[in-house]
Amino acid sequence: MDKKSKQDKVDVKRRRFLTDTLRTASGVCLVSLALVVYQRQAKALPSTAIRPPGAGDESDFLGACIRCGLCVRDCPYDTLKLAELGDEIALGTPYFIARDIPCEMCEDIPCVVACPTSALDHELTNIDDSRMGLAVVVDQEACIAFQGLRCEVCFNVCPIRNKAITLDYQHNDRSGKHALFIPVVHSDACTGCGKCEQACILDEAAIKVFPLALAKGELGKHYRLGWEQQKNLGEPLVTPDVPHQYNLPEGMTYDYGGEGLIEEPADQPFSSNPLDTLNRNKEGI
């Protein structure tokens, strides 16, 4: 009997242990699941939030950044902020809003130096190599340059002037005699500092800096651009063109790579080319 009660006690203990463990495990699993769902949302960086220089793509950044704010502290222009709970940005991570305070692109990049983890790439030593985002002329209808008005503010405030943003001269169809000075952004030079967005004279900027993932398109990996391949190889990729033998109607010639099909004025006494006349006279003698 004593033995039996002891056995019962062990059973109760074991049952309690199992239910406790099961309860805890399922509770923790639920919490984890909720956290994963929340994290999926938190990963979707809003288009206005730009990461500091040296930050990798968003999912890498969220794995490396410990949200200490040392980059924020060492930013001399108060550009960087830490996301607060309730912001759309992952809690505690640094970002800036270009329209408010853009990155001034310090030469010594103090924010990167301050970072105690690999969240901001410590191998970034030249700020011109940073790619915080990419400026995009998002609204050609609102940008006054497209109306033929002289503005060029974005072009002029750009720290990498005439490389990251250039002006493309186009014909002004409206006036018929003026030029349009169209700003064009080049991703090989633009760091995404956001000076252009901040300076845009419109009420709502027509040029905006977006995180790279939003701003960049990408050509399919299988595409090969013939002229670039040719440049790399030094010779054409396909059989070289030979002068084509055309079966042309009488009195026609074909100027390959030039004027194209040319009608020879056979009936007329004089060719449009004075040399022809001179040569014919020669032959006639």
Binding footprint of other proteins on the chain (CB under 8 A): 20-21, 23-25, 27-29, 31-32, 35-36, 38-39, 42-43, 59-60, 62-70, 72-74, 81-87, 90-92, 114-119, 122
**For residue 209, is it left (φ>0), alpha (ψ between -120 and 50) or beta?**
beta
CB of 121 to other proteins, least distance (A): 10
Determine the Cα–Cα distance for residues 141 and 164; give it in Å rounded to an integer.
Answer: 22
Judged by beta carbon, residue 39 or residue 170, the one nearer other proteins is 39
Judged by beta carbon, residue 1 or residue 36, the one nearer other proteins is 36
In contact, 208 and 198? CB cutoff 8 Å: no
Sign, CA dihedral 190-195-197-201, equals negative
Judged by beta carbon, residue 110 or residue 148, the one nearer other proteins is 110
Judged by beta carbon, residue 78 or residue 129, the one nearer other proteins is 78
CB of 104 to other proteins, least distance (A): 20
CB of 85 to other proteins, least distance (A): 4
- Residue type, position 223, single letter: Y
CB count, 10 Å around CB of 194?
28
Phi, psi of 284 (to 5 degrees): -60, -30
CB of 125 to other proteins, least distance (A): 15
Judged by beta carbon, residue 91 or residue 278, the one nearer other proteins is 91
Judged by beta carbon, residue 92 or residue 148, the one nearer other proteins is 92
Tokens at 243, concatenated:
């002068």
Judged by beta carbon, residue 36 or residue 233, the one nearer other proteins is 36
CB of 18 to other proteins, least distance (A): 12
CB of 23 to other proteins, least distance (A): 7
CB of 159 to other proteins, least distance (A): 27
Angle ∠(100,106,112) on CA atoms, nearest 5: 95
- Residue type, position 218, single letter: E
In contact, 230 and 160? CB cutoff 8 Å: no
Nearest residue to 169 (alpha-carbon basis) of 152, 151, 182? 182
Tokens at 100, concatenated:
């408010």
In contact, 43 and 83? CB cutoff 8 Å: no
